[in-house]
Amino acid sequence: MPAITPLGFIFIPLLILASRQKDYSLMFFFASLPFYGLHVFRLVGHAFTFPELALMAFGVNQIQRWYRSREIKIPATIPLYALFGFWITCLLSVLYLVLNTPSITVHPYNTGSLDELVLRDLSFTLNNISQLILRTFFVWAVIVLTINIDREGINNAIKAVIFGGCVILSVGIVYQVTQFFNFYAFAQFLEWLGFRIQTRAGGFLGLIPRMWTTAGEPGFAAHYLLFALSLTAPFAVVSEQSTSIFTKFGGRVFSSIFLAGIILSTSTTGIGGLLIFFFVLGIVSLLSPSLDHERIGRLYAIGLAFGTIVVLVGALLSTGILNILFYTISKLQFNAGSGTLRMTYIQMAIEIVTKRPFLGIGVGSQYGASLLGTLTAETGLTGLLLFLSAYISSIVGCLRIARRNRQESIIATAVVVSSATLLGTSLLAKSVTVLLFPWTWLSLALPIAVVIQYSSHQLLSIASQEIHIKPIRSRL
């Protein structure tokens, strides 16, 4: 029997109702974005989160629409071809494992914390099936979102991410304040509702507690806020006076809020992600005519100022602030803590791929603290390159749109910055769990949707056991 949390009794009926209409399904999914930390119920060993169930409801609605129309229509674009190829590679990697199991030691799934490296001989297990299902879910999520997000939906998605960031940051700050004053009732209430949260979180910068919130642990919160920051920052440094979503002033306000939130999360993922974000923003500014270089310099200065303030506050509250800073820098250099573990998993992946270069050792065989390492080890160079191709081809397509210097240029630029930033951060600083984050789905679905909506493409139509490819002209 499934174990349902209190909020599950509210959300499950709403999800059933939302699955009956496209607009409601999409709206419900957008509303679920900041609630990855909410476990609605547990079944067959998996804790189903609010965004996962919202996507399932959306998927049911999509299948119903396909069934009623007796036709499946999917945009024929290179990113979706690459994504489908990635899924095929995942499937073949498991079949290859079954037919030819090599003598290799791996760190398997469900062996405790990632902080403890447990090595066992490789073998086919139920984890290979369950992880293949989760990879399939990731691919399905991106496809469903891509084909349902139109031009208005792109704007709504960006607004939903910004609103979700405000929710995550608001709850996170309340959590930190209540923890600071040893008032644990707030955290206990969230835990009772079904949120994955700690009632007593240790400090990081002096006495500042780590930020647990609706997205889950501090690293998850920082990951989301990084996505929100990279989506809003381009609107703050745009060369034009206004955009179709909000003004430059609005972009500056939200960028400052999310920048501060990332630092307050006290997550190394956030700090490392900020370095990637500023690097990506600088590169994109050279390729897109929408961004003002002078304003980007001011944003860099604001980021440096925020970081300096936090360090000074930490120095006032803790005598060991220098040790903490050196330790954080070492983690970013992969020389301490989780950084050392990530490098260990990447090195293991390199050793594995030299023995199984094309299909790896099978999805669900190697669990590590690095998405890059896991993808390389499990699906080989083929899977890794196809996964990266889905992102890179969509980013390149958005950059071409951004260089047109039209009204949609700033939207395409913002999507490029956010997608590239999240991809870089996920590959280096997060585990394969990142593929279950709803904002990760959007980080790939949004650039593909922008390419589809603002450029010419073909439509793959499957009906009556026949495949028809019809050219669809851009509406520009």
| Helix (H) or strand (E) run with residue 24 in it | helix 22-32
What is the pLDDT at residue 114? Answer: 57
Question: What is the DSSP secondary structure assignment for residue 258, as one 8-state letter?
Answer: H
What is the pLDDT at residue 428? Answer: 83
| Helix (H) or strand (E) run with residue 459 in it | strand 457-463
Residues 302-309: contacts with CB within 8 Å, 24+ apart?
302/256, 302/259, 303/259, 303/274, 303/278, 306/259, 306/260, 306/263, 307/263
What is the pLDDT at residue 99? Answer: 93
Instruction: DSSP for 301-332, please give it.
Output: HHHHHHHHHHHHHHHHH-TTHHHHHHHHHHHH
Quote the CA–CA distance of 275 and 268 in Å, as a whole number: 11
Instruction: Tell me the domain boundaries of the chain.
Output: 1-70, 77-472
Structural tokens at position 315: 């120095």
List the pLDDT tens digit at each of the 476 positions of the chain: 457 888 878 888 888 888 888 888 899 999 999 999 998 887 767 788 999 999 999 999 999 888 888 878 788 789 999 999 999 999 999 999 999 988 888 888 877 655 667 778 888 999 999 999 999 999 999 999 999 999 899 999 999 999 999 999 999 999 999 988 888 899 989 988 888 887 665 555 556 788 899 999 999 999 999 999 999 998 888 876 545 577 778 888 898 899 889 988 888 888 888 889 999 998 998 888 877 777 777 777 777 776 666 666 655 555 555 555 555 555 555 554 555 677 777 788 888 888 899 999 999 988 877 898 899 999 999 999 999 999 999 999 999 888 875 667 889 999 999 999 999 999 987 888 999 999 999 999 999 999 998 876 555 555 544 444 444 444 43
| Helix (H) or strand (E) run with residue 3 in it | strand 3-4
Neighbouring-strand partners of residue 353: none
Asked if 244 and 400 touch (Cβ cutoff 8 Å), the reply is: no
Strands (E), 23-103: 39-43, 46-49, 72-76
Q: In this structure, which amino acid lies at residue 285?
A: S
Instruction: DSSP for 181-230, please give it.
Output: TT--HHHHHHHHHTB---SS--EEETTEEP--BTTBSHHHHHHHHHHHHH
CB count in 10 Å sphere of residue 99: 8
What is the pLDDT at residue 225? Answer: 96
